[in-house]
Structure 1
Amino acid sequence: MKTSTPIYLVLLVFAFCSSCKEQSNTDQAKETPAAETKTVAAHGGPNSITRAIIQNRKGDIWMATWEGVFRYDARQPVGQGTTFTNMTTGVSDARFFSALEDSKGDLWFGTIGSGVYRYDGVNFTNFTTKDGLPNNEVTWIYEDKAGHIWFGVNGGASRYDARLPNGQGTSFRNYLIEGDMMVEDTTGKTIPDLTRPPMEVNAIMEDSSGKLWFATRGRTYVYDGKTFLVFMHADKPFTNVRTVIEDSKGQIWFGGNDGLWRYSNNTLTQISKDFCGYIYEDSKGNIWTSSETGKGWALSRYDAMALAGLKPTPTVINPWKDGNPGLAFGILEANDGSIWFGTTTGVYRYDGANFTDFMGNGERK
């Protein structure tokens, strides 16, 4: 573990125009009733890349995958009736990448190349660059405390005012990466797809002080509502961060090419040098990561008690006995305490002792 390093924030020039017109209304967004999609019940879960997993207030588990959006009825005992349903059959054949349930109970799903879809329980509504997004590759979705929905896209971020009824007023405000800076765009500029590194916004998070953090494949930015700052360590920009979260103690965690880092009391400490893709805090205060280890990809769990020490070491949990199928992605603690995570070949559930995968024609261990 590296020694702790003080942090500095570098102020960037940011032209913030609160009186400028926002970019587009949503009355052109396409709606597809779920009842007309002819959804197909899947006996097993997805068999391809599963990037994000969430559980909504009804208890269903939703997965953003490259085969579509899957819903898992976690309230129904396994083996009794239909468990998995591909909800976007007939809606979109896009590769889905990100997911969020907002404070109103609507579900949002980002895609690579087809913008973002909102599902209100009946209809899917599609938003693209035609409606105000700066780019159609939506890699992250986040709701701030004010109820704005933020989309991390290739080229920057977009803030959607979900409080405005569709077609009434304007809804999108876009913030683009220009060189080393992140600035608001009021011209309606769009960014071509497939321009990912270093323009991709990987994660967005609002901390307990109200500041927003934007992790990109380039620099990491902190936004106070008026000004974007570059987050620095060792007099260098903190770069290529894939995930940023704030834990229940107010500590901020970063994961990326340079490993796993913890930011506390204005000090940044490297916890692990292994590449870290996702970070998740469970209800007990344990920190989970999907990361690369010396033996390939695995889940790592840092127990809450161990995190109080100077050199916390994780419990590495590897579900793959017969080889490693590739990367591990989004992590979720379900209501029953089980840990779900996505991989390049589908989704797994870990109950503390055993792994269950849901690929192929049914559930198996």
Structure 2
Amino acid sequence: MKLNILLLLSILTLLTSCNGQTASKQKNNEQLKEQLVKGDTVQALGSSVMVVYQDKKNNYWFGSWKTGVYRYDPSASLKTGGKTLVNYTADQGLPNRIDEIKEDQSGNIYFTSCSPNSTIVKFDGHTFTTLSPVAGNDWQLKSNDVWFRHSFQSEKVYRYDGSTLHELQLPKPPNLPNPFEIYTIYKDKKGNIWFGTNPVGVCRYDGKSFEWITEEDVTEFRNEGANGVRSIAEDKNGDFWFNTEYRYRVYDSATLDNNQFYTRHQSIGGLDGKKDSNLDEYLSTVRDDNNNLWFVTYRDGVWKYDGTNVTHYPVQYNSTDITLFSIYKDNHGALWLGTHENGAFKFNGTIFEKFIL
């Protein structure tokens, strides 16, 4: 009897010790994760903000051209009475240049750097992990996949399915063997993926085939040079915008009797209304909650099209026009700008003003 009691006590002691070691190990892992994710608390954004993104938890992420990414948590600011801006750079495993910010269904955040070499970094809320691509031809169209651009002057894209980062070569358009690069990737309301390129137009992938609208139909107007398709949008009628000269009505291939899957219709022309305007292309565009289309140009500010009229919004800092990169609509419908040299700007209903903590 005494032997059984001693044996039982020994087992209980061993189990308690193991549980203690497990709990201690879990605690150490959690502390390590917290240590790995810690960035530098700063007082202001860097001067160059290429992209703005708000995640599912309402954190704002500002991707920089030179100084990594900045995270701003408005809820933390409300709780503490102070505003906290955290900067993550190469010291935490990120590239210092961020060209894209995306998020998957589970809330993981992805940061793309396209120059000089392509890098995709995944943030799971604890650590930054660089994804290693697998080259192949595994073209698929799944609703939860995340698509990324490749490096500059590359005809490739990435598709991430949650476990594998597939590196894919985009097929060349028919009868156009010249090299090209991919400027933008857009998922339409039907789930098709579009690739905006330079200088071969725009391509739609519907999971079965690749269909092209060639450069001469997309950006070659007035016998001038083209800057490529840098941003794609759908308006409230379902028409596609790759420029402001025309809008494009797109059809399902299965319903067509010929090979052309779109029709082109006259649109608003140059944003400034001039006959010889060169403002028929843009760097970035977004549709707001009122179905207005907003277009960002590099040197000529922001333009809004409400379906009837075009309104110009100059963007200035210290009474000087500034250069712009991108426009973004956040979870609350607010509009943000990424700029070349002046941080981020936010629309207050009348003008775009500099975002300052």
Tell me whether the two structures share a fold, i.e. TM-score over 0.5: yes
CA drift of 1:160 comes to 2.8
Number of the residue aligned with 1:223: 205
- AA aligned to 2:194 is W
Number of the residue aligned with 1:289: 295
2-structure distance, mates of 1:74, 1:344: 24
Number of the residue aligned with 1:331: 327
Deviations 1:39-89 (A, max 9, x none): 1111111212x2211111111111111211111223335993233211335
Number of the residue aligned with 1:53: 52
2-structure distance, mates of 1:86, 1:253: 35
| More strand, by proportion | 1
Number of the residue aligned with 1:12: none
If the length of structure 2 is used for normalisation, what is the TM-score? 0.69
- Pairs aligned (count): 287
CA drift of 1:103 comes to 1.5
Q: Is the contact between residue 141 and residue 207 of structure 2 (CA under 8 Å) also seen in structure 1? A: no
Question: Is 1:149 aligned to residue 151 of structure 2?
Answer: no
Match of 2:166 among 169, 172, 196: 172
Higher relative contact order (Cα pairs below 8 Å, separated by 6+ residues): 1
Aligned CA distance change for structure 1 residues 42 and 250 (closer, same or farther; 3 Å): same
| More helix, by proportion | 2
If the length of structure 1 is used for normalisation, what is the TM-score? 0.68
| Farther-moved stretch of structure 1 (201-210 vs 64-73) | 201-210
Identity across matched positions, percent? 24
CA drift of 1:324 comes to 2.4
Number of the residue aligned with 2:44: 44
Identify unmatched segments of 5+ residues in structure 1: 1-31, 135-142, 165-169, 184-196
Number of the residue aligned with 1:251: 239
Cα RMSD of the aligned pairs, angstroms, is: 3.3
Number of the residue aligned with 1:357: 354
Q: Is the contact between residue 34 and residue 87 of structure 1 (CA under 8 Å) also seen in structure 2? A: no
Deviations 1:187-237 (A, max 9, x none): xxxxxxxxxx96321111233344321101122112232322220487688
CA drift of 1:152 comes to 1.7
Q: Is the contact between residue 214 and residue 222 of structure 1 (CA under 8 Å) also seen in structure 2? A: yes
Match of 2:189 among 201, 208, 220: 208
Number of the residue aligned with 1:263: 248
- AA aligned to 1:120 is D
Identify unmatched segments of 5+ residues in structure 2: 1-31, 221-225, 251-262, 271-278
CA drift of 1:121 comes to 0.6
Q: Is the contact between residue 53 and residue 342 of structure 1 (CA under 8 Å) also seen in structure 2? A: yes
CA drift of 1:246 comes to 2.2
Aligned CA distance change for structure 1 residues 144 and 280 (closer, same or farther; 3 Å): farther
2-structure distance, mates of 1:285, 1:235: 25
2-structure distance, mates of 1:144, 1:247: 23
Deviations 1:235-254 (A, max 9, x none): 68877111012234322121
Larger Rg: 2
2-structure distance, mates of 1:216, 1:180: 15
